[in-house]
Amino acid sequence: MQYASSQQADWPRIYTLAMRHCALGAILFLAFTASLTFAQTGVEAKPATAAAAQEFVDRANADLLKLGVDASHADWTAKTFITEDTEATSALLNQQSTARSLALIEESHRFDRLTLPPELKRQIKLLQVNAPALGAVIWAMRNPRAGIVEPDDLDYKTVLDIAMPYLGPVVGVYSDWSPLVGRGELYPEDVDRDDPWQFKNFRVV
């Protein structure tokens, strides 16, 4: 029992100052290499074609999967071996994942005007609509002492300021759409056709 206590007391000293400097240097080098590679990729980007869109989606999925797995591992380590270093590493990997997601969203708008297969277009749109969620994540990182916040209580202006550059054109136009469009075509539904905007017409049962 005494031996275990002695080991636990030594754990925080595993991360020496020299090791921290080496780790910081490695992280900065990797970040610089990644940014340089991304910049070169942007300069030498292929024409916006369906094939290029598929290549982009495959690359984006691979990048985000690896970043997500790395961030999950770091988060688990930070929660099971709590030190300033493990928490800092977890925060750094989450920031890298968020930054990469935003960069990919920005790049994805190259394909907005293409006619793409439905599944491919869906994957690109799913990536793009994450921008507001990532804006909220960045707001949470900037306000770590805010605690649990209801969505309606978020600083929506800040979230939109972060998200807007990545959303592409955002416009408001009038249309003749209503919640009753296409309803009842596949199967019978209990809807209020006299008042299309009743809540029951939005509810999914």
Torsion from C-alpha of 105, 64, 85, 13, nearest 10 degrees: -160
What type of residue sits at position 26? A
72: left (phi over 0), alpha (psi -120 to 50) or beta: alpha
Determine the residue type at 126. L
Average pLDDT score over residue span 5-19: 41
For 97: left if phi > 0, alpha if psi spans -120 to 50, otherwise beta; the answer is alpha
SS3 142: helix
Look at residue 91 and tell me whether its pLDDT is greater than 70. yes
Position 121: which residue type? K
pLDDT for 12 beyond 60? no
Tokens of 116: 């793409």
pLDDT above 80: residue 27: no
40 — pLDDT class (breaks 50, 70, 90) = very low
The encoded tokens of residue 95 equal 């920031």
User: What token pair was written down for 134?
Assistant: 């990532």
Q: What is the mean pLDDT of residues 17-33?
A: 46
